[in-house]
A and B are shown apart, each in its own frame.
Chain A
Amino acid sequence: IVRCSSGLTPQLKSTLDKVVTSNKVVLFMKGTKDFPQCGFSNTVVQILKSLNVPFETINILENELLRQGLKEYSSWPTFPQLYIDGEFFGGCDITVEAYQKGELQELVEKAMLS
């Protein structure tokens, strides 16, 4: 077993700051938006596609350091992780519930206008 020296380095933190603020909607996920590799990630991709908003996806399976660092950055232990307007919004369950209540649409629209 390879134990990764996990942790959020200052460089990684400033890179993540840039990534989540330079796009209105960013999804850190397993796989890509065209080829999700996990059901939870796929669910969030389908929701975002149905909202018709531009969004970036970042495949955490390709970078173990990123994967470990992000858990700390978001204080969230699992993936996918959705960021809206520079702020951590939640994982799959939160996104689904907000979508069902219409809150996600509202928030994304607000982000697009800001």
Chain B
Amino acid sequence: MGVTKEQVESCLKSKLNPTHLEVVDTSGGCGASFVVEIVSEEFEGKRLLERHRMVNAALEEEMKEIHALSVKKAVTPEQWKQLQQDSNQANPAA
């Protein structure tokens, strides 16, 4: 039994209460492989390593079956807003 994108999503939703969550399945058939982008209040005041540890811990059971997990972003809602403003400024035409 592999792990599905839906399982990863529902697990992260219930444990980290994200305001934004994007899980992308990048396995291409070779086994469970995901890229995660997550925005949560719970990352407030935590260093990057601690934030990634929180994501890993939330997926502890799933990690046994997950082949590769890439946490592309683990930010607070405040940082997320900033990031989106920056990217809008970088692409004024968009």
Query: Residues on A close to B: CB < 8 A?
Result: 40, 75-78, 88-94, 97-98
- Give the residue among B52, B60, B63, B72 with the most A Cβ atoms within 10 A: B52
Q: Is the CB of B56 within 8 A of A89?
A: no
User: Smallest Cβ distance from A31 to chain B, in angstroms?
Assistant: 15
**Given A40-B68, A78-B69, residue A94 in contact with residue B48 (CB < 8 A):** yes
A93 touches B68 (CB 8 A): no
Partner of B49, one of A77, A78, A90, A92: A90
Distance of A77 Cα from B55 Cα, bound (Å): 11
CB A63 to nearest CB in B, in angstroms, measures: 19
Interface size class of B (residues with CB under 8 A): 10 to 19
* Minimum CB–CB distance for B66 against chain A, Å: 8
Besides A75-B53, A76-B53, 8 new A-B residue pairs in contact (Cβ under 8 A), listed by A number: A77-B63, A89-B49, A90-B49, A91-B52, A92-B70, A93-B52, A93-B72, A97-B48
Q: In the assembled complex, how far is the CB of residue A87 from the closest CB belonging to chain B, in whole angstroms?
A: 10
